[in-house]
A and B are shown apart, each in its own frame.
Chain A
Amino acid sequence: EEQLVQSGGGLVEPGRSLRLSCVGSGFIFSDVWLTWVRQAPGKGLEWIGLIKSIANGATTHLAAPVKDRFSISRDDSKNLLSLQMDSLKPDDTAVYYCATGLKGSRLRNTLDSWGQGTLVTVSS
Protein backbone atom coordinates (compact mmCIF):
# COMPACT_ATOMS: atom_id res chain seq x y z
CA GLU A 1 0.00 0.00 0.00
CA GLU A 2 1.29 3.42 -0.94
CA GLN A 3 1.96 5.55 2.10
CA LEU A 4 3.43 8.90 3.06
CA VAL A 5 4.32 9.37 6.72
CA GLN A 6 5.16 12.82 8.00
CA SER A 7 7.18 13.99 10.96
CA GLY A 8 8.31 17.30 12.37
CA GLY A 9 6.09 20.25 13.09
CA GLY A 10 5.18 21.85 16.36
CA LEU A 11 5.38 25.26 17.98
CA VAL A 12 8.08 27.65 16.79
CA GLU A 13 8.75 31.33 17.43
CA PRO A 14 8.50 33.88 14.63
CA GLY A 15 11.74 34.23 12.70
CA ARG A 16 12.93 30.74 13.59
CA SER A 17 13.33 27.69 11.34
CA LEU A 18 11.70 24.30 11.16
CA ARG A 19 12.15 21.24 8.99
CA LEU A 20 9.37 18.85 8.03
CA SER A 21 9.96 15.33 6.75
CA CYS A 22 7.89 12.91 4.73
CA VAL A 23 8.84 9.28 4.08
CA GLY A 24 7.26 7.32 1.28
CA SER A 25 6.69 3.60 0.94
CA GLY A 26 4.84 1.19 -1.31
CA PHE A 27 5.84 2.90 -4.54
CA ILE A 28 8.98 3.82 -6.48
CA PHE A 29 9.83 7.02 -4.65
CA SER A 30 12.45 8.15 -7.14
CA ASP A 31 9.94 8.18 -9.99
CA VAL A 32 7.46 10.63 -8.51
CA TRP A 33 7.16 14.35 -8.16
CA LEU A 34 6.46 15.40 -4.59
CA THR A 35 4.30 18.25 -3.43
CA TRP A 36 3.71 20.24 -0.26
CA VAL A 37 0.27 21.68 0.47
CA ARG A 38 -0.73 23.60 3.57
CA GLN A 39 -4.00 24.52 5.19
CA ALA A 40 -4.31 27.37 7.67
CA PRO A 41 -6.83 26.80 10.47
CA GLY A 42 -10.34 26.92 9.07
CA LYS A 43 -9.07 27.83 5.61
CA GLY A 44 -8.67 26.16 2.24
CA LEU A 45 -5.82 24.29 0.60
CA GLU A 46 -2.76 26.18 -0.50
CA TRP A 47 -0.15 24.64 -2.78
CA ILE A 48 3.28 25.70 -1.59
CA GLY A 49 5.64 23.81 -3.81
CA LEU A 50 6.92 20.70 -5.50
CA ILE A 51 10.11 18.91 -6.37
CA LYS A 52 10.42 16.97 -9.58
CA SER A 53 12.08 13.57 -9.87
CA ILE A 54 15.81 13.27 -10.34
CA ALA A 55 15.11 12.21 -13.92
CA ASN A 56 13.45 15.59 -14.38
CA GLY A 57 16.33 17.40 -12.77
CA ALA A 58 14.93 17.50 -9.22
CA THR A 59 13.76 21.00 -10.06
CA THR A 60 11.81 22.78 -7.38
CA HIS A 61 8.96 25.24 -7.72
CA LEU A 62 7.73 27.27 -4.78
CA ALA A 63 4.69 29.47 -4.36
CA ALA A 64 5.27 33.19 -4.19
CA PRO A 65 4.47 33.61 -0.46
CA VAL A 66 7.24 31.18 0.53
CA LYS A 67 9.76 31.12 -2.30
CA ASP A 68 12.38 33.21 -0.51
CA ARG A 69 12.02 31.39 2.82
CA PHE A 70 11.21 27.75 2.15
CA SER A 71 13.11 25.08 0.27
CA ILE A 72 12.26 21.54 -0.77
CA SER A 73 14.68 18.65 -1.08
CA ARG A 74 14.57 14.91 -1.55
CA ASP A 75 16.82 11.98 -0.71
CA ASP A 76 15.69 9.07 -2.83
CA SER A 77 18.11 6.70 -1.07
CA LYS A 78 15.96 7.16 2.05
CA ASN A 79 12.61 7.76 0.33
CA LEU A 80 12.68 11.08 2.14
CA LEU A 81 11.11 14.41 1.22
CA SER A 82 11.94 17.49 3.27
CA LEU A 83 10.57 21.00 3.63
CA GLN A 84 12.95 23.50 5.18
CA MET A 85 11.12 26.53 6.48
CA ASP A 86 13.13 29.59 7.49
CA SER A 87 12.14 33.03 8.77
CA LEU A 88 8.77 31.69 9.82
CA LYS A 89 5.86 34.06 10.25
CA PRO A 90 2.59 33.71 12.15
CA ASP A 91 0.84 33.49 8.74
CA ASP A 92 2.71 30.23 8.13
CA THR A 93 0.65 28.58 10.87
CA ALA A 94 -1.06 25.67 9.16
CA VAL A 95 -1.33 21.94 8.76
CA TYR A 96 1.29 20.92 6.22
CA TYR A 97 0.71 17.94 3.95
CA CYS A 98 3.08 16.13 1.65
CA ALA A 99 1.43 14.51 -1.34
CA THR A 100 2.16 12.90 -4.65
CA GLY A 101 0.56 11.66 -7.82
CA LEU A 102 1.05 8.00 -8.61
CA LYS A 103 -0.80 7.67 -11.89
CA GLY A 104 2.01 8.38 -14.28
CA SER A 105 3.73 11.27 -15.94
CA ARG A 106 0.77 13.36 -17.10
CA LEU A 107 -0.93 12.99 -13.72
CA ARG A 108 2.05 13.78 -11.54
CA ASN A 109 0.20 16.73 -10.05
CA THR A 110 -3.09 15.01 -9.31
CA LEU A 111 -2.52 14.17 -5.71
CA ASP A 112 -3.80 10.69 -4.98
CA SER A 113 -1.56 9.92 -2.02
CA TRP A 114 -1.28 12.20 0.99
CA GLY A 115 0.57 12.27 4.25
CA GLN A 116 -1.36 12.53 7.46
CA GLY A 117 -0.51 16.19 7.90
CA THR A 118 1.49 17.93 10.57
CA LEU A 119 0.62 21.13 12.42
CA VAL A 120 3.06 24.00 12.45
CA THR A 121 2.25 26.83 14.83
CA VAL A 122 4.27 30.01 14.59
CA SER A 123 3.79 32.07 17.72
CA SER A 124 5.77 33.76 20.45
Chain B
Amino acid sequence: DIVTTQSPDSLTVSLGERATINCRSSQSLLYTSDNRNYLAWYQQKPGQPPKLLIYWASTRESGVPDRFSGSGSGTDFTLTITSLQAEDVAVYYCQQYYGIPITFAQGTRLEI
Protein backbone atom coordinates (compact mmCIF):
# COMPACT_ATOMS: atom_id res chain seq x y z
CA ASP B 1 0.00 0.00 0.00
CA ILE B 2 1.11 3.57 -0.66
CA VAL B 3 1.61 5.47 2.57
CA THR B 4 1.13 9.22 2.58
CA THR B 5 2.41 11.38 5.41
CA GLN B 6 1.81 15.05 6.05
CA SER B 7 3.80 17.60 7.99
CA PRO B 8 3.26 19.37 10.23
CA ASP B 9 0.37 17.82 12.15
CA SER B 10 -0.77 21.30 13.14
CA LEU B 11 0.04 24.80 12.07
CA THR B 12 -0.75 28.25 13.39
CA VAL B 13 -0.50 31.14 10.96
CA SER B 14 -1.45 34.79 11.26
CA LEU B 15 -4.15 36.31 9.12
CA GLY B 16 -2.75 37.44 5.80
CA GLU B 17 0.31 35.25 6.10
CA ARG B 18 1.28 32.12 4.17
CA ALA B 19 0.60 28.54 5.23
CA THR B 20 2.55 25.62 3.82
CA ILE B 21 1.61 21.99 4.27
CA ASN B 22 3.74 19.13 3.02
CA CYS B 23 2.77 15.67 1.87
CA ARG B 24 5.13 12.80 1.17
CA SER B 25 4.28 9.45 -0.35
CA SER B 26 6.09 6.15 0.04
CA GLN B 27 6.32 5.75 -3.71
CA SER B 28 6.11 8.01 -6.73
CA LEU B 29 2.64 9.21 -7.65
CA LEU B 30 3.77 10.26 -11.12
CA TYR B 31 2.11 8.08 -13.73
CA THR B 32 4.52 8.09 -16.63
CA SER B 33 1.96 7.29 -19.31
CA ASP B 34 0.21 10.64 -18.81
CA ASN B 35 2.89 12.53 -16.86
CA ARG B 36 0.43 13.36 -14.09
CA ASN B 37 0.78 13.14 -10.35
CA TYR B 38 -2.14 11.28 -8.80
CA LEU B 39 -2.45 13.41 -5.70
CA ALA B 40 -5.32 15.50 -4.37
CA TRP B 41 -5.84 17.91 -1.49
CA TYR B 42 -9.00 18.30 0.60
CA GLN B 43 -10.20 20.79 3.15
CA GLN B 44 -12.49 19.72 5.99
CA LYS B 45 -14.26 22.09 8.33
CA PRO B 46 -15.93 20.90 11.55
CA GLY B 47 -19.16 19.04 11.00
CA GLN B 48 -18.78 19.01 7.23
CA PRO B 49 -17.64 16.44 4.70
CA PRO B 50 -14.29 17.08 3.04
CA LYS B 51 -14.12 19.41 0.09
CA LEU B 52 -11.86 18.76 -2.88
CA LEU B 53 -9.42 21.64 -3.38
CA ILE B 54 -6.78 20.40 -5.79
CA TYR B 55 -6.22 17.38 -8.02
CA TRP B 56 -3.37 16.31 -10.30
CA ALA B 57 -1.25 17.82 -7.50
CA SER B 58 -1.68 21.35 -8.83
CA THR B 59 -5.04 21.77 -10.60
CA ARG B 60 -7.41 23.88 -8.58
CA GLU B 61 -11.00 22.68 -8.32
CA SER B 62 -13.61 25.01 -9.78
CA GLY B 63 -14.59 27.71 -7.31
CA VAL B 64 -11.54 27.31 -5.09
CA PRO B 65 -9.87 30.66 -4.41
CA ASP B 66 -6.56 31.21 -6.14
CA ARG B 67 -4.81 31.72 -2.81
CA PHE B 68 -4.78 27.91 -2.68
CA SER B 69 -2.09 26.27 -4.79
CA GLY B 70 -0.51 22.87 -5.05
CA SER B 71 2.92 21.90 -6.21
CA GLY B 72 5.36 19.03 -6.27
CA SER B 73 5.94 15.84 -8.17
CA GLY B 74 6.89 12.24 -7.58
CA THR B 75 6.87 11.74 -3.83
CA ASP B 76 6.91 15.27 -2.40
CA PHE B 77 4.05 17.71 -2.59
CA THR B 78 3.03 21.01 -1.04
CA LEU B 79 -0.24 22.83 -0.45
CA THR B 80 0.27 26.56 -0.08
CA ILE B 81 -2.31 29.02 1.13
CA THR B 82 -1.26 32.59 0.59
CA SER B 83 -2.82 35.49 2.45
CA LEU B 84 -4.60 33.32 5.00
CA GLN B 85 -8.23 34.15 5.68
CA ALA B 86 -10.28 33.33 8.76
CA GLU B 87 -12.44 30.92 6.76
CA ASP B 88 -9.37 28.82 5.93
CA VAL B 89 -9.30 27.37 9.44
CA ALA B 90 -9.78 23.67 8.79
CA VAL B 91 -8.04 20.33 8.60
CA TYR B 92 -6.29 19.65 5.31
CA TYR B 93 -5.65 16.19 3.88
CA CYS B 94 -3.66 14.92 0.95
CA GLN B 95 -4.87 11.78 -0.81
CA GLN B 96 -3.16 9.57 -3.33
CA TYR B 97 -5.28 8.02 -6.05
CA TYR B 98 -2.42 6.36 -7.91
CA GLY B 99 -3.26 2.96 -6.54
CA ILE B 100 -5.85 1.01 -4.63
CA PRO B 101 -6.18 1.12 -1.69
CA ILE B 102 -6.57 4.86 -1.96
CA THR B 103 -4.96 6.46 1.04
CA PHE B 104 -5.29 9.71 2.92
CA ALA B 105 -2.57 11.20 5.03
CA GLN B 106 -3.26 11.92 8.69
CA GLY B 107 -4.20 15.56 8.13
CA THR B 108 -2.89 18.96 9.16
CA ARG B 109 -4.90 21.20 11.45
CA LEU B 110 -4.60 24.84 10.43
CA GLU B 111 -5.39 27.52 12.97
CA ILE B 112 -5.17 31.27 13.05
State the A residues within 8 Å of B (CB): 35, 37, 44-47, 50, 61, 63-64, 97, 99, 103, 106-107, 109-112, 114-117
A107 to B49, CA, bound (A): 19
Q: In the complex, what residues of B have CB within 8 A of residue A114's CB? A: 49-51
A58 to B36, CA, bound (A): 26
Contact status B52-A110, CB under 8 Å: yes
B104 contacts partner chain A, Cβ-Cβ < 8 Å: yes
Contact A50 to B93, CB < 8 A, known contacts A45-B50, A97-B49: no
A61 to B49, CA, bound (A): 22
Return the chain B residue nearest A6 by Cβ. Answer: B49
Contact A110 to B104, CB < 8 A, known contacts A97-B49, A103-B55, A116-B49: no
Which residue, of B95, B97, B102, B105, has the highest number of chain A Cβ atoms within 10 A?
A: B102
Q: In the complex, what residues of A have CB within 8 A of residue B97's CB? A: 107, 109-110
* A44-B104, A111-B95, A114-B51 given; 18 more Cβ-contact pairs under 8 Å: A45-B42, A45-B107, A47-B101, A47-B104, A50-B100, A50-B102, A61-B101, A64-B101, A97-B49, A97-B50, A106-B34, A106-B36, A107-B55, A109-B100, A110-B55, A110-B97, A116-B49, A117-B49
Q: List 25 A-B contacts (CB under 8 A).
A: A37-B50, A44-B91, A44-B104, A44-B107, A45-B42, A45-B44, A45-B93, A45-B104, A45-B107, A46-B104, A47-B101, A50-B100, A61-B100, A97-B50, A103-B55, A109-B100, A110-B40, A110-B52, A111-B42, A111-B52, A112-B52, A112-B61, A114-B50, A114-B51, A117-B49
B103 contacts partner chain A, Cβ-Cβ < 8 Å: yes
A96 to B112, CA, bound (A): 29
